Structure 1
């Protein structure tokens, strides 16, 4: 098997944490999600993944991905020919897990990530990749060219917290302007998380640090008039159908976390935003 060298920027390296989380999860007898492609990618990379072994945050990344997957599935059920835009796609394999055979997908990230991604994941007429910064505008042009009039589902998983507050809100403003009425899935970290990253089990093992502290998802509605929160969850308040279908080990872990009410759990929100409709 060809082993691919990993040479990624500081923030980009964080994509390896959820990738490894999915691969580890997929190997379990009773997984919260199955992702054999993630297993294959991890096996093909020349990287010391052992630094992440046994970290509680791996389970958190799996639950986050499972919720984003559920939201994308719901979107594709309602809009089989819609367009999914993976913002800061990293080595995400959501296409392999939830594609319906008719939707269009744009997966974009910074050039070093896309170079690695293209060596590992083949594009198709419906599935395209692009090298672009989320703070720029070229990715939006690519998405419009691919999806035409939409509808669009924008997935920003583990991306916006690593921007400055001004950059993060600028990205939301761009999305609202270019993709009116679309759905945006994102995660936000509160001040207690952003201020304690040196002791975070996973982030303390890489150099990247989150910069945007969002106290509450409702701040997005205030900052961006016309947006609406369609759904918002912490890991301990996942949708009932998702929670009830998790393996018992996960349900027991979540019961314990609910009792503990840890800031690093309760201040981390997974939110589905409805962007303002076209005027």
Structure 2
């Protein structure tokens, strides 16, 4: 049975506010594969999480993502009247996004002819924030329903292509040029895949391109195993499906793959600079606990 893809309002919670069918949800939207509707709800929540309220309206925001604010004004008619709290997990997510953006800019400065694969893009306006040169071909990939929503909410760009597909259906690789350096960005994606699917994804990208960089975030095994009780994940009927205590070991999956570095988020200088004093104290305490300092981190590999 088909169903329309929508975000159902839930009280005053901005993470699930807004109704999507008014944005011309057509038959393809309604016939999306299982998980697409959930993906739209996560995408809407992710867009809210990156609004940086209230820092987004301060002189020195972390992202300053005007596109995210525009998107949420369309998704939520009452957005301008909302009073956002100071979600510390939301702040960590914004800092993580900033780290991914900075790594992407660094790679593209060295490889201005690169192909970018932004996997599980949701409603993230990363291509607009990073604003790569015209010599870069950028591909945003997510479920077809999410891509249709993006087309209704975000403007087109030159050298920018949307692909509606499950990340794990690797036939999408046939639609991108594979003779140039590649940058694969997968923010907020890998923990939701099985280890088998993560391995297939990484090794397939390495096999398809001559050289490149892979950047994504991971969680440790304990976070994966306890995710079924996480209240934020339960809100979206989601849970993690893999975790890695030593992400560097993933380089063993392919002879060309080499671990570069990683960036834990809880001791990020930006996080410490932007967080309120009570939150900074909490982060310092978390960093003292075994396993917590690296419970949220992004990692880089090259080949």
TM-score by length of 2: 0.78
Q: Which position in structure 1 is the counterpart of 2:37? A: 9
CA shift, 1:267, in A, is 2.4
Q: Which position in structure 2 is the counterpart of 1:221? A: 251
Q: Which position in structure 2 is the counterpart of 1:258? A: 284
1:166 aligns with 2:199: no
Q: Is the 8 A contact 1:106 1:129 kept in 2?
A: yes
Q: Which position in structure 2 is the counterpart of 1:73? A: 105
| Partners of 1:62 and 1:27 in 2: CA distance | 10
CA shift, 1:172, in A, is 0.9
C-alpha distance 96-124 of structure 1, shift in aligned 2 (>3 A): closer
C-alpha distance 219-16 of structure 1, shift in aligned 2 (>3 A): farther
Q: Which position in structure 1 is the counterpart of 2:133? A: 101
1:19 aligns with 2:47: yes
1:90 aligns with 2:115: no
Q: Is the 8 A contact 1:18 1:62 kept in 2?
A: no
Q: Which position in structure 1 is the counterpart of 2:295? A: 267
5+ unaligned residues in a row in structure 1: which ranges?
none
C-alpha distance 199-207 of structure 1, shift in aligned 2 (>3 A): same
Q: How does 1:31-42 map to 2 (within 5 A)?
A: 31-42=61-72
| Partners of 2:282 and 2:57 in 1: CA distance | 21
**What SS is found at the alignment partner of 2:50?**
helix
Q: Which position in structure 1 is the counterpart of 2:187? A: 157
Cα shift readout 1:71-92 (whole Å, capped 9, x = no counterpart) = 1110121122322111111111
CA-atom RMSD in angstroms? 2.8
C-alpha distance 156-48 of structure 1, shift in aligned 2 (>3 A): farther
| Partners of 2:156 and 2:281 in 1: CA distance | 41
5+ unaligned residues in a row in structure 2: which ranges?
1-17, 24-28, 30-35
Q: Which position in structure 2 is the counterpart of 1:136? A: 169
Q: Is the 8 A contact 1:217 1:269 kept in 2?
A: no
**What SS is found at the alignment partner of 2:37?**
coil
CA shift, 1:65, in A, is 0.5
Q: Is the 8 A contact 2:183 2:212 kept in 1?
A: yes
Structure possessing the higher radius of gyration over alpha carbons: 2
**What SS is found at the alignment partner of 1:18?**
helix
Worse overlay, 246-255 or 111-120: 246-255
1:114 aligns with 2:147: yes
TM-score by length of 1: 0.84
| Partners of 1:115 and 1:151 in 2: CA distance | 28
**What SS is found at the alignment partner of 1:116?**
helix
Cα shift readout 1:29-60 (whole Å, capped 9, x = no counterpart) = 1422210100010111159998x954332112
1:211 to 195, 216, 241: 241
**What SS is found at the alignment partner of 1:89?**
coil
User: How many aligned residue pairs are there?
Assistant: 265
| Partners of 2:42 and 2:245 in 1: CA distance | 22
**What SS is found at the alignment partner of 1:187?**
strand
